[in-house]
């Protein structure tokens, strides 16, 4: 008799009714026997479909009377401690190296309470179950199923049907969506959504056709309407000019783009083994999380001179995204979203379109998550990995100073990209991690999609006599001002995990003697951060500085500390006041750069429970402890951000706007690591030849 059967017998002894026996046999026992857990995993591999099924089975069996009140909101691998992973990695080449035990963490709602449950997948047992009382700490991530159910409630609610009829609209052409409500100082004490609706007659672009003035409040646990207001009537923006489907567009068409082909005569230059990717001089682990989306781990680069791989990044992912809208009116004030903690980038991942989202040479990977009922859900083509050659230059030099000789050396740039797209409501986010042979890691987010808009009575700016909090970019349509803050978690392990954060300031100096006709110059003054408060950095382009993570125990042959530096992406300071409720929840956006000592529980900048959170479990709060960070295992947090003022070109679908930052080696190598990179094999192409 296997261990799973023994556990079920302990839960349900022979005295149980025959009904319970058959119910649990077919519902719980069969999944345990249908799926099997392989004996060997990479310690950071995301949970497999069979493991997700085991988690569901074990938790549901522990709460048999709650089968109708049990919902799964987050199920993920409970990663082994970092030292354990690194120890396994160092022994991974040995045939006797055994992976650490597999464990999972599940956040579930059971009978109206939040539970944090730890499951041992090696022994098929529940190790712990902590109940999170009340909603003061906030609530778990939303599920698709409860958003869908809440969105349908207005369509069967008589007052809503009456409001739609008064506006002269057809109920059959109304589509609704669920919005989180944030926190504004009250004691709500229950999970609620606000449901807003749109008109899709004649157009698929629902977000630019809002039905203004109607708000439906839904109790999520009871899934019923608990509040309804119809305040005013505003014309629904017209469908004309909002079509974006290629099959529905009519001439004249825009610029003609010639077709492009990617040819790799020698085949792909990378290998994927499970979730481990090997390419050129890089090796890294590509994981998936229902909340963060893509997770890069154990990124190491091969040093040709030292003849070994050297650690760079233990883990990197987007920890949170904060999007506050700048309309304080009753219809809009609560729209200040923590997208990753409330909606989930991984949950909102969409299948990638070959040849459009990714080039022809891309390799695709499916991913899985646990749905609201705990069953595994597949996202086909969730990731794509491809080599990119966009005509860029890795390095070059032309030398003409040698008499009678011209020397020209050029190396074309080829990089590796891992990509995922997450569609969170109206916005589509293109998430890229790009690895370069030079040692740089380029991290980018492209955002596109349909802007969230407000219906207004105006068709021309001359008619506007009041604040509309945005740009009139179509008739009766305002694109509301808002911000985008992306908070990245970057656990850099530069040649080891004992690192320091250095701010290398570029300081102007006056020439004090008469030996030079110059009056001034600049030099570098380095400051090593001792504690967390020293490392809260404002990126000030009037006072430039290099931001470095160095290993104070490792030096180059010339005596420089080995390191990596952050070349920041676009940054901006929040314009909301510190006492504004959305900013209290998102105080972690106050600085573009934070540094904290590594703590495995500090993963989500906006807190573990972001929905209706109060800002008391965030990066800004953790950092108040002002812990030591010099020569420690540290985590760098980078807020990349911009204020978004919409313009007419953003309508009806916004052309992609990309923001990115770079992690670049800084005295990490003894010299140029790609000096000896060979020129790739040329592919014959008409009217294009290489120089002799």
Q: Which residues are catalytic?
A: 339, 427
Judge whether 596 and 621 are in contact, CB under 8 Å: no
Q: What are phi and psi of 175, to 5 degrees?
A: -125, 140
Q: Hey, how many other C-beta atoms are within 10 angstroms of the C-beta on 451?
A: 24
Judge whether 367 and 46 are in contact, CB under 8 Å: yes
- What secondary structure, in 3-state letters, does 15-48 show? CCCHHHHHHHHHHHHHHHHHCCCCCCCCCCCCCC
Q: Which helix (H) or strand (E) holds 196?
A: strand 192-199
Structure tokens at 527: 């400051």
Please calculate the CA angle 588-594-600 and round it to the nearest 5 degrees: 85
The residue with tokens 């606000």 is 194
The residue with tokens 């979730």 is 275
Handedness of CA 640, 592, 595, 135 (dihedral sign): negative
User: In sequence order, what are the residues at sequence separation of 6 or more whose Cβ sits closer than 8 angstroms to the Cβ of residue 655?
Assistant: 448, 649
**How far, in Å, CA of 426 to CA of 168, rounded?**
26
Structure tokens at 268: 């792909």
**How far, in Å, CA of 506 to CA of 539, rounded?**
13
Q: What are phi and psi of 353, to 5 degrees?
A: -90, 115
How buried is residue 247: exposed, middle or buried, by Cβ count under 10 Å (0-12/13-18/19+)? exposed
User: In sequence order, what are the residues at sequence separation of 6 or more whose Cβ sits closer than 8 angstroms to the Cβ of residue 129?
Assistant: 62, 115, 116, 117, 118
**How far, in Å, CA of 367 to CA of 385, rounded?**
14
**How far, in Å, CA of 168 to CA of 462, rounded?**
27
DSSP three-state, residue 4: helix
Longest dimension (CA), the chain: 101
**How far, in Å, CA of 414 to CA of 410, rounded?**
13
Structure tokens at 245: 């489907």
**How far, in Å, CA of 54 to CA of 40, rounded?**
17
């Amino acid at each position: 008799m296997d261990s799973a059967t023994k556990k079920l017998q302990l839960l349900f002894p022979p005295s149980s009714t025959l009904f319970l026996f058959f119910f649990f046999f077919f519902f719980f026992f069969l999944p345990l026997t249908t799926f099997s857990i392989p004996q060997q995993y990479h310690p950071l591999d995301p949970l497999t479909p069979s493991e997700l099924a085991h988690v569901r089975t074990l938790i549901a069996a522990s709460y048999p009377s709650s089968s109708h009140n049990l919902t799964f909101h987050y199920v993920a691998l409970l990663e082994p401690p970092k030292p354990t992973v690194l120890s396994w990695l160092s022994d991974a080449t040995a045939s006797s190296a055994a992976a650490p035990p597999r464990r999972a963490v599940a956040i579930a709602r059971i009978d109206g309470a939040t539970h944090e449950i730890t499951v041992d997948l090696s022994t098929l047992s529940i190790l712990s179950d902590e109940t999170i009382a009340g909603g003061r700490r906030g609530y778990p991530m939303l599920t698709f199923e409860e958003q869908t159910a809440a969105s349908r409630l207005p369509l069967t609610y008589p007052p809503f049907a009456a409001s739609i009829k008064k506006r002269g609209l057809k109920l059959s052409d109304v589509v609704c969506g669920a919005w989180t409500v944030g926190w504004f100082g009250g004691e709500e004490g229950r999970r609620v959504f606000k449901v807003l609706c749109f008109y899709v007659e004649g157009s698929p672009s629902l977000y630019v056709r809002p039905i203004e003035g109607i708000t439906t409040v839904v109790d999520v646990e009871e899934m019923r309407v608990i509040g309804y207001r119809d305040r005013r009537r505003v014309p629904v923006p017209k469908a004309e000019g909002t079509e974006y489907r290629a099959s529905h567009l009519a001439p004249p068409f825009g610029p003609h783009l010639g077709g492009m082909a990617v040819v790799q005569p020698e085949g792909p230059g990378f290998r994927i083994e499970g979730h481990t990717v090997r390419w050129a001089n890089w090796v890294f682990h590509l994981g998936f999380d229902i909340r963060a989306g893509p997770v890069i781990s154990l990124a190491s680069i091969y040093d040709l001179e030292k003849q070994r791989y050297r650690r760079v990044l233990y883990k990197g992912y987007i920890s949170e995204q904060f999007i506050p809208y700048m309309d304080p009116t009753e219809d809009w004030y609560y729209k200040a979203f923590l997208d990753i903690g409330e909606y989930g980038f991984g949950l909102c991942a969409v299948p990638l379109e070959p040849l459009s989202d990714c080039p022809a040479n891309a390799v695709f990977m499916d991913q899985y998550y646990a749905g609201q009922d705990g069953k595994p859900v597949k996202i086909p083509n969730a990731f794509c990995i491809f080599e990119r050659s966009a005509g860029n230059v890795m390095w070059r030099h032309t030398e003409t100073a040698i008499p009678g000789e011209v020397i020209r050396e050029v190396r074309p740039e080829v990089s590796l990209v891992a990509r995922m797209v997450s569609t969170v409501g109206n916005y589509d986010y293109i998430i890229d991690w790009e690895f370069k042979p030079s040692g740089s890691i380029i991290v980018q987010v492209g955002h596109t999609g349909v802007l969230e808009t407000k219906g207004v009575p105006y068709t021309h700016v001359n008619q506007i006599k009041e604040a509309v909090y945005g740009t009139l970019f179509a008739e009766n349509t305002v694109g509301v001002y808002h911000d985008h803050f992306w908070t990245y978690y970057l656990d850099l392990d530069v040649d080891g995990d004992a690192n320091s954060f250095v701010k290398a300031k570029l300081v102007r100096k006056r020439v004090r003697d008469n030996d030079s006709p110059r009056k001034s110059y600049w030099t570098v003054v380095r400051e090593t951060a001792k504690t967390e408060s020293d490392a809260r950095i404002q990126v000030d382009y009037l006072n430039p500085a290099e931001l470095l993570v160095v290993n104070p125990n490792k030096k180059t042959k010339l005596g420089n500390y080995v390191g990596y530096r952050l070349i920041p992406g676009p940054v901006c300071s929040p314009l909301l006041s510190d006492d504004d409720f959305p900013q209290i929840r998102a105080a972690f956006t106050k600085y573009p750069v934070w540094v904290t000592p590594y703590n495995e529980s500090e993963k989500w900048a906006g807190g573990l429970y972001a929905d209706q959170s109060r800002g008391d479990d965030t990066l800004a709060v953790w950092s108040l402890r002002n812990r030591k960070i010099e020569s420690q295992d540290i985590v760098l947090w980078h807020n990349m951000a911009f204020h978004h003022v919409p313009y007419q070109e953003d309508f009806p679908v916004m052309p992609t706007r990309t923001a990115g930052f770079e992690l670049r080696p800084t005295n990490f190598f003894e010299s140029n690591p790609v000096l000896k990179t060979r020129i790739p094999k040329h592919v014959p192409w008409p009217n294009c030849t290489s120089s002799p």
